[in-house]
Amino acid sequence: MSKKPTIATGRKLGQKIRKKKMKASSRRWLERHINDPYVQRSKHEGYRSRAAFKLLEIDEKHKILKGAKRIIDLGAAPGGWAQIAAKVTDSSDLDPRVVAIDFLEMDQVPGVSFLQMDFLDDDAPDKLMELCGAAPNLVLSDMAAPTTGHKRTDHLRTQHLCEIAAYFAVDVLAKGGHFLSKTFQGGTENDLLQMLKKNFQSVVHVKPPASRSESVELYLLAKGFKGRKPDE
């Protein structure tokens, strides 16, 4: 569905930033960003972020988008995953089949119902399901806590978001549905893995090519939701 870009589009690679007042670390980040072929390809193909290719590459191997009729996107801004979700579900403003949430602002994505609020708010799950209208076939989470620079703290904070998203997915997914969430290298908590293995046919960690090699991010993929028992 997506292949690794081999050429840049619209901007020459290898450009240097020469703003004298910019910190060296900020200059290096900006140079890496503007010279990133995935960034350039996202602009050329109309995606809002390079993260779109992470989802496309995961789907190319694991086929989680095929047949999805309703999708919930957690931590959606700036909207790259929501764009793909709207396309694969044939969602429209008249018949929205994708619901997205983020505490950050996000420009409207056609066919996507957007909630600007913190997913950790107590009433966020109910509001998401009210907008979704029916059980989703796929719950996506690209949520990550703001980094502190302390690796252990950053890992635990993002892992907490992954865990909250996982339990939400188990509460709302349609039978046979899938769950995909960002996590960080350092090990997914065993209790969470056991919970997911109990509720899904398969559970794996994946790192798509679009995820920078130096990045500690991974994605936790749980496929084939077994369904809830009648008394759950």
Catalytic residues: 182
What residues form DSSP beta bridges with 52? none
Return the structure tokens found at 229. Answer: 């028992």
- Residue 112 Cα distances to 13, 74, 108, 170, angstroms: 34, 12, 7, 22
Pairing of strands 138-141, 112-116: unpaired
Q: What is the dihedral of CA 84, 89, 92, 93, to 10 degrees?
A: -80
CA dist., res. 168 & res. 164, Å (int): 6
User: With contact defined as beta carbons under 8 Å apart, do 145 and 154 qualify?
Assistant: yes
Hey, is 34 helix, strand or coil? helix
Radius of gyration of the chain (CA): 18
Give the list of residues 6+ apart from residue 202 with CB closer than 8 angstroms, or none: 222, 223, 224
165 sits in the region (left: phi over 0; alpha: psi -120 to 50; else beta) called alpha
